[in-house]
Amino acid sequence: MQEQLENLINEGITRYASANGYQPTRFMELRRELGTVAAIEQLMTTATIQIGFVKMMRNGLSNYTCEAAILRFPELFTQEAADVAKFRLENWEQLT
């Protein structure tokens, strides 16, 4: 399951870079420092919607967002992270 998560996030980074012309370097640094699950959990604790999330949504990459990964692999994440992820995916246009 962890390997599937890593693959999904790596594919999302590749697609994000292709669509936007640059890498999400801060998220990549956070992953290296904390690990993928902890990095994603940390993103869910901020009230601010990350610009990378918005760009992915606008580019039709919703299945590759960290939020989507949480809902796809809920057993790896806290319920709080799942609640935030679901809310963001359902309401992203109103939040930006």
The domain segmentation of the chain, as residue ranges, is: 2-91
* 41 within 8 A of 78, measured Cβ to Cβ: yes
* 52 within 8 A of 17, measured Cβ to Cβ: no
pLDDT in tens, 25-80: 999 999 999 999 999 999 999 888 888 999 999 999 999 999 999 999 999 999 99
Residue 11's pLDDT is 96
* 8 within 8 A of 69, measured Cβ to Cβ: yes
* 81 within 8 A of 89, measured Cβ to Cβ: no
**Better-predicted residue by pLDDT, 69 or 93:** 69
In this structure, what are the phi and psi dihedrals at residue 23, rounded to the nearest 5 degrees?
-85, 150
Q: Which residue from 74, 73, 76, 68 is spatially nearest to 35, judged by alpha carbons?
A: 76
Res 96 pLDDT > 80: no
The model's pTM: 0.93
pLDDT in tens, 15-24: 999 998 888 9
